[in-house]
């Protein structure tokens, strides 16, 4: 084995030695143990039982395979004991099989994991953005709860995680949530974090109706005239808009993309704004 390989093994095993199993960190210890054993190609001994000693007439290949398995079992057992506190070492020092040790530890700490999982779910569901509090630390805290559930072997889907986060901000973010769902946005939690920070900035500037419009792979704030490409156009609903009556004279270049009548843009179309308001009311009622 090369010097570099020895150094890598020592570096990984040091993670276990720094955080020895003490009765309250079983899940972290077990995860680190599997990482170390996988790097050493010995993780199979936690699942595959060592066969009974072979007969004397066994082939060399069979004997070599059994002998390797036996040596790996001894190495893993010693590593497990070396990374436990003294009380647990005494309890398992006469147990020869790593599988038996892990099975016993799982049974011992199962209640601990269940309690931690329950408390994490409770904290995640009850997490709400306080008044005047910044949104970034709030979302980061919720993402931490979600990561902790994954560590506890209880992962939740990205869709469910997104829904939980979107239900946590205060009412000033309601318009952002409505339009996020109306535009069927699908973002990672990190990207959602960034969008909420942008929404917070706009809300503080006094423009609470923050809407995001999907255009291909990038997102733009609506309210600006994008021309005749058919992109969704949304304007401040407090701003007076013109009637859908067409202007006199030829005006084909100003044909509305929504009602197809000439003389005004889609963003000034009375019918479009009325329909948009009805859609928003429907989503607000269903949410």
Q: What is the pLDDT of residues 52-93, one digit of tens each?
A: 877 778 788 888 899 999 999 999 999 999 999 999 999 999
Going by pLDDT thresholds of 50, 70 and 90, the confidence category of residue 17 is confident
State the DSSP string of 9-35. HHHHHHHHHHT-B-SS-HHHHHHHHHH
Residues 150, 194 within the same domain: yes
Residues 244, 216 within the same domain: no
Residues 193, 140 within the same domain: yes
pLDDT higher than 70, residue 3: no
Domain around 51: 3-108
Q: Is residue 120 in some structural domain?
A: no
Residue 269 DSSP one-character state: -
Q: Is residue 227 in some structural domain?
A: no
In sequence order, the β-bridge partners of residue 21 are 84
Closest CA relative to residue 168, chosen from 190, 137, 147 = 137
Q: Is residue 116 in some structural domain?
A: no
- Contact of 152 with 120, CB cutoff 8 Å: yes
Q: Is residue 164 in some structural domain?
A: yes
In the chain, the number of structural domains is: 3
Q: What is the pLDDT of residues 105-162, one digit of tens each?
A: 988 887 777 888 899 999 999 999 998 899 999 999 999 999 988 877 788 999 999 9
Helix (H, G, I), strand (E, B) or coil at 123: helix
Residues 240, 217 within the same domain: no
Residues 213, 240 within the same domain: no
Q: What is the pLDDT of residues 219-263, one digit of tens each?
A: 444 444 444 444 444 344 444 444 445 444 444 445 776 677 777
Q: Is residue 118 in some structural domain?
A: no
Average pLDDT over residues 259-282: 68
**pLDDT recorded at residue 51:** 85
Residues 216, 245 within the same domain: no
Helix (H, G, I), strand (E, B) or coil at 51: coil
Residues 42, 70 within the same domain: yes
Q: Which of 108, 136, 167 is the last residue of a domain?
A: 108
The residues, ordered by sequence, that sit 6+ positions from 121 with a Cβ below 8 Å of its Cβ are 149, 154
Report the alpha-carbon distance of residue 97 to residue 261 in Å, rounded.
81
Report the alpha-carbon distance of residue 266 to residue 281 in Å, rounded.
20
């Amino acid at each position: 084995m090369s010097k570099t390989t020895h150094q890598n093994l020592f570096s990984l095993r040091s993670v276990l030695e720094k955080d020895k199993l003490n009765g309250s960190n079983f899940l972290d210890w077990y995860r680190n143990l599997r990482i170390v054993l996988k790097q050493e190609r010995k993780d199979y001994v936690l699942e595959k039982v060592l066969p009974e000693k072979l007969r004397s007439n066994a082939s060399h290949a069979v004997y070599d395979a059994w002998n390797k398995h036996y040596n790996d079992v001894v190495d893993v057992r010693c590593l497990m004991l070396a990374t436990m506190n003294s009380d647990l070492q005494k309890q398992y020092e006469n147990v020869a099989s790593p599988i038996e040790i892990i099975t016993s530890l799982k049974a011992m700490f199962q209640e601990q994991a269940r309690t931690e999982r329950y408390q994490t779910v409770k904290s995640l569901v009850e997490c709400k953005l306080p008044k005047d509090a910044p949104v970034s630390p709030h979302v980061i805290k919720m993402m931490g709860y979600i990561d902790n559930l994954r560590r506890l072997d209880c992962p939740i889907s990205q869709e469910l995680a997104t829904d939980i986060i979107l239900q946590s901000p205060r009412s000033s973010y309601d318009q952002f949530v409505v339009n996020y769902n109306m535009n069927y946005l699908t973002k990672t939690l990190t990207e959602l974090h960034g969008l909420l920070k942008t929404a917070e900035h706009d809300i503080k500037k006094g423009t609470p109706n923050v809407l995001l419009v999907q255009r291909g792979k990038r997102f733009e704030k609506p309210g600006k005239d994008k021309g005749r490409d058919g992109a969704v156009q949304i304007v401040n609903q407090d701003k007076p808009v013109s009637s859908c009556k067409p202007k006199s004279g030829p005006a084909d270049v100003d044909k509305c993309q929504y009602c197809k009548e000439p003389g005004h843009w889609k963003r000034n179309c009375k019918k479009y704004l009325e329909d948009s308001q009805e859609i928003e009311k429907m989503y607000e009622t269903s949410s």
